[in-house]
Structure 1
Amino acid sequence: MKHLLSIFAGILLCAILPSVAADKYSIIPEPGRTELKPQATRTLKLLSDKAEASLGKDAYRLAVTPGGVHLASGGREGRLYGQATLRQLQDQLAAQPEGIPCGVIKDKPRYPWRGLMVDPARHFIPLADLKKFADLMAYYKFNKLHLHLTDNQGWRLPVPGYPRLESVASKRAETFGDGIPHGGMYTREELKELVAYCAERGIEVIPEIDVPGHNEALAAAYPEFFCFPKPDMKVRTVAGNSKELVCPQKPEVWKFYAAVFKELKDIFPSKIVHLGGDEAPTELWEKCPLCRQARARAGMRDEQEQMRAFFARMTALLAKNGQTPQFWYEGNAGIYHPGETVYAWRQDQARQSIDKTKKAGLNLIMASNEYCYLDFPQIQGQYNWGWMRTTTLRKCYELDPAFGKSPQETGHIRGVHAAAWAEHLPDLNHLLYRVYPRAMAIAEAGWSPMDVRSWDNFRRKVADHRAFVLKRFNYDLERTKENEPPFRWENKK
């Protein structure tokens, strides 16, 4: 009799979906394959959680039944992704207690690299805020958190033996004339805590130390590292870049970066160090007597050859620690080396970068700014500093990292990467406002096959996720022209 009662109960739970119950899942990013069943469930109790190596390490299968859920995964990554999908379904069920569909989800990422970059160099981001940022990343299956730790406006990595990084380079007098001093420096312990926190959520933390340019903060602290030392140099207080590049002919420069890379190795388990490498005008190298002599001795034609040699030496320095470099791609493949990874970021160059990097033997991560720069305004008329394009949610969603090219042409593409440069984003509230919900579109571009993607379906899911995110993270995804947090320097443009 007990057995018959359990069968009867199962039949009741398997009833055809009532008209008020959900008839679709609201999962972002969209799974690779979903088979919905004509039954509903009101419970997502985890009934089984098993390893199934044949699925592949980053793949999972989630079977939603009337009595609960069965999860199978091919490896740790797949299990974490399956759990992330289950969390979203749980949030959907909480919002729709009448029931959600039974079904089977078979899923794995389209690309192995799905990253977000934050910029504590421009505005310091406390550890607690970075953790909240990582929580949202994991919810949408991002797996790389890129920390832009150094730039003209601040240096955030402590390096033993170089105390002026904290006392000078980590502080600036103001921001855009607001008269408010700004500063911040992470401790080793804080960064290690962040690394561990992210690792639990399947996120690898990638540090960036920008070379040879974007270094006014370093020049303020250690002017002797530069071709033409300026003892009165200050940490930059406005946006933009300068002509200051570290001098590759000074031994103290290489001693310093050896110490930097050792510190990165001790803190970050990742074997990747992003070296920036963009927007580095070489005109001061052209004038520098030490650089001129070095070019003549080596028979170099110009400063671009010197730049290539600079990056080769940086790469060799990293290799001693088992580390490898990444770079922002400047379109000049001659300064990179086959097998290295570059990010296509410049406006309107995404398509061309696919062919150029393949020919040069480079790995490519798609970070094209017309789709992936999330500091740009997302609604026409919002604060844009006078030059930024408006990048709508739909524009972000239109990104296909392969741009319709064949797998043979795009096998070197590793994934997608969205950046939130923070000259104009002073705190977590501003950062999250600009990053979301557009990061959800980038997540789907990096995860979901093109044949399961749909703008109309995505827009429906985003509407559902507003309630999910508000309840789980206490954060509202509503975006209107008027509801952006105010900027204290907005009228100082």
Structure 2
Amino acid sequence: MNAAIPAPSAGESPEGLCPVGRPWRVLTESQELQRVAATVRELVAPHLEAASADGRAVPAGVLRLTLADVGPAPSALGVPPSGEAQPEEGYRLTVESDRILCQARTPEGVFRAAVSALHLLVAAPPEGLACGWSEESPRYAWRGLMVDPARHFLPVGELRKIIDLAALYKLNVLHLHLTDNEGWRIEIPGRPELTAGRPHYTVAEYRELQAYAAERFVTVVPEIDLPGHSAAALRAYPMLGTVGLPAWVPEGAPFAPPLDPRDEVTRAFVTEVLTEVARATTGAFIHFGGDEALGMDGERFTEAVVLARELIRACGKQPLGWQESARAGIGPGEIAQWWVDVPMMELPDSDEELALRPELVKAGMTMPIVRALAGVFASTDDDLGRIVDGGARVLLSPQSHLYLDRPYDLAVVPADRHEGAERLGFAYRPRDLRYAAAWDPTAYGLAPEQVAGIEATLFGETINNFDDLTTLLLPRLAGVANVAWTGAVPRWEEYRERLAGQARLWRERGVTALLSTEVDWR
């Protein structure tokens, strides 16, 4: 039973086969699981043949969903996105000749089992699926994906498809980067200028999206990126007070003057925005950004971060910021999302080294700009220590592996995809799929109790359409999900074989993936 991603952590395989080329029905006798069964039917609909609708007897297989007292699972590491006690997601999956039994103590665990059953059926060879059983539970409590509708707007229908993909890989957080220099994508009642004439989510659409995600056991975490990355807010309200950018920042660089927390108009704006977003959010967390506030002195930056945290807590929510927010002080019970340090940026040291980095040359980088960036980001080298020393937890999103807007190495891109692949991705060093799959969350010297969870990010600077987004997302999302659930780095040869069967799942869902030449896709 090793075709599923994430991989099962325990199990055994008695002799026998379960035929797969037949209709399948999702059944449960539990009233508590009726909604879960309906959601599972929606998810599996593109993949499994439907049973006869006229009631005639057909040799159908059954996915049976059952609440049961399965063996206790070890507690997941980190912070549950509910902000409450960690739900029991562990389950037992049993494959028999005529059915697949999905058992768990909770509806969420049963849902995770059903997702694994789908993976097994989609990737099964024509002769059938080996009978047997497996038990598994997650290593990390927070398993997230961030997408960026601020730079490239994603209609609600596309976000639903992303939520479905997240659920199919047992991720449980969708982090929405809703504001940035390029756009403001969430309605704020009383502030219509923020979204006037531009695509955005109404409060009603945002609430409906959260309900859709919740049915798939995915929590939506909204991000309002402050005090930097605020050009969209400033276009709508130019009277907002700001702090000037450093003189070295070139014209057209992706940095905006940070909002000044000492300005009364700005404080009123930030208060109103965060209060309205919290009011519309059903989940426990609000992300306030806090990154790349170029030009702010430490005292003003601290005031901005403290203001955001206090406002979010006053609304009954828990604040979450990027790693830079730790420079304003951070303590037990708080979380910072760690994404970069200078070594991770892989900056060249000379003109000769820069010439060997075509992705940087294409982006307009010069050695003076590179040196300025290295100076600005020098403080990031200490951020991880600041978070840990303060007693807070680290949400792992290292740029080196979990930034999925990294270009693919053209050496592993099929020839007919080169043109599109060259266009996609930020100015990071291109990497192959094997590199992405080798990420080890234990490589940073963090004690287990210091980790909040794992979250991949996909920023939208180079995305023009949904196919672009899924090309950057897949197949790398599967590797992130695998390590977030299992906590283990897979052996490449074994993982590559399991990954090969995922191509059918993506085809049947109608999503575009970059099928690297490193894998013999099926």
TM-score, length-normalised on structure 2? 0.74
**Hey, what does 1:127 align to over in structure 2?**
156
* Structure 2 residue aligned with 1:263: 276
Q: Secondary structure at the match of 1:450?
A: coil
- Matches of 1:53 and 1:320 in 2, distance apart? 40
Question: What secondary structure, in the 3-state scheme, does the structure 2 residue paired with 1:206 have?
Answer: strand
1:418 aligns with 2:456: yes
More moved, 152-161 vs 29-38 = 29-38
Whole-angstrom CA distance in 2 between matches of 1:132 and 1:386: 23
1:431: which partner in 2? 469
CA RMSD of aligned residues (A): 2.6
Report Cα offsets for 1:415-445 as digits up to 9, x if no partner: 2111111011122110000011001111111
Alignment gaps of 5+ in structure 2? 21-60, 74-87, 246-250, 345-379, 412-421, 518-522
- Offset of residue 377 of structure 1: 0.8
Paired residue for 1:440, among 478, 481, 490? 478
Q: Distance in 2 between matches of 1:416 and 1:240?
A: 26
Aligned to 1:240, which of 218, 229, 254?
Answer: 254
1:55 is paired with a residue of what secondary structure? Answer: coil
State the 1:201 CA deviation: 0.7
In structure 2, relative to structure 1, the CA distance for the partners of 1:212 and 1:449 (3 Å cut) is closer
Aligned residues: 412
Identity %: 29
Q: Distance in 1 between matches of 2:445 and 2:19?
A: 43
Partner of 1:117: 146
Cα distance 1:48–1:280, how it changes in 2: closer, same or farther (>3 A)? closer
Shift of 1:358: 2.2
Kindly indicate whether residue 426 of structure 2 is the aligned counterpart of residue 395 of structure 1.
no
Which of 467, 470, 486 is the matching residue for 2:507?
A: 470
Cα distance in 2, alignment partners of residues 228 and 276 from structure 1: 17
Q: Secondary structure at the match of 1:38?
A: coil
Q: Which has the larger radius of gyration?
A: 1
Name the CA shift for 1:197/1:33 in 2 (closer, same or farther; >3 Å): same
Aligned to 2:338: 344
- Is residue 390 of structure 2 the alignment partner of residue 364 of structure 1? no
Alignment of 1:34-73 (within 5 A): 34-42=11-19, 44-47=61-64, 49-52=66-69, 55=72, 57-73=88-104
Q: Would the aligned equivalents of 1:330 and 1:346 in 2 still touch at CA under 8 Å?
A: no
1:75 maps to 106
Deviation of 1:333 after TM superposition, in Å, equals 4.3
Counterparts of 1:355 and 1:307, CA distance in 2:
19
- Please name the residue that 1:202 is paired with: 217
Indicate the residue corresponding to 2:515 in structure 1.
479
Deviates more, 1:435-444 or 1:387-396: 387-396
Aligned to 2:192: 163
2:251 is the counterpart of 1:221: no
Question: What's the offset of the Cα at 1:400?
Answer: 1.4
**Alignment correspondent of 1:383:** 423
CA, structure 1 residues 207+360, in 2 after alignment: closer, same or farther (shift >3 Å)? Answer: same
Structure 1 position 356, deviation (Å): 4.5
Q: 2:473, 2:513 within 8 Å by CA — same for their partners in 1? A: no
| Conserved? CA contact 1:55–1:74, under 8 Å | no
Distance in 2 between residues matched to 1:262 and 1:245, nearest whole Å: 20
Residues 387-426 of structure 1, C-alpha deviations (whole Å, 9 max, x = no match): 32113221221111121757xx232212211111101112
In structure 1, how many angstroms separate the alpha carbons of the residues matched to 2:282 and 2:510? 31
Specify the code of the residue in structure 2 equivalent to 1:479.
L
Uncovered stretches (5+) of structure 1, i.e. residues with no partner? 1-23, 172-182, 231-236, 284-302, 482-493
**Amino acid in structure 1 at the alignment position of 2:104:** S
